[in-house]
Chain A
Amino acid sequence: EADIYQTPRYLVIGTGKKITLECSQTMGHDKMYWYQQDPGMELHLIHYSYGVNSTEKGDLSSESTVSRIRTEHFPLTLESARPSHTSQYLCASSGQWSYEQYFGPGTRLTVT
């Protein structure tokens, strides 16, 4: 099993709050990803990074931002949460020469 962690696992917050979802991996992987997934639905890539100080937006428009200051850490921030942000957020990583992705357990976010 891969060593990739996400906190919190569950979060219920009110509209307008700023939140940061944490993701860390201990495998030294260069590539990291954030996906948004509604229950039982497909995964949508919202952000990715190929290394420190590298971040790109994914295919799904998102009002979130990310940073990659350290290889092992890839936090996602929502400046002002809205009910439309209610979803599961999955973090993943892969090695420099591999496209196999290891996923964290996810954060289930509910915005009321």
Chain B
Amino acid sequence: GQQVMQIPQYQHVQEGEDFTTYCNSSTTLSNIQWYKQRPGGHPVFLIQLVKSGEVKKQKRLTFQFGEAKKNSSLHITATQTTDVGTYFCAGLSYNTDKLIFGTGTRLQVFP
């Protein structure tokens, strides 16, 4: 079945350093979403990308959807302690309307 993998699984950074997580799908996606889950919390929707090659920014966060619509990335510039959490991508394939969540990347930021 469809799989969505993320790398790295864990990332520890010093506050102020940049961070990137990568998301790869085994199938072509109609869209991809990103969610953030704080420790002990629930996933919260961040953004949705639909177009091939699309790039969207939210303050220090930059989201990109690959040209082939099989991969995506989330880049955080100058991390802060408030960025701590697990970031999940979630892909929607063309032949199903169920979101498949990625394996997640846990980000730890040291002050």
Contacts and interface: CB of A to CB of B under 8 A. Distances in A.
Please tell me the size bucket of the interface on B.
20 to 34
B1 A59 contact: yes
A40 B86 contact: yes
Given A59-B1, A99-B31, A43 B88 contact: yes
Contacts, number: 48
Contacts of A90: 42-43
**Majority secondary structure of chain A interface residues (helix, strand, loop or mixed):** loop
Please tell me the size bucket of the interface on A.
10 to 19
Contacts of B1: 59
B48 A103 contact: no
Given A43-B101, A45-B98, A100 B48 contact: yes
A75 interface: no
Interface of B: 1, 31, 33, 35, 41-45, 48, 86, 88, 90, 92, 97-104, 106
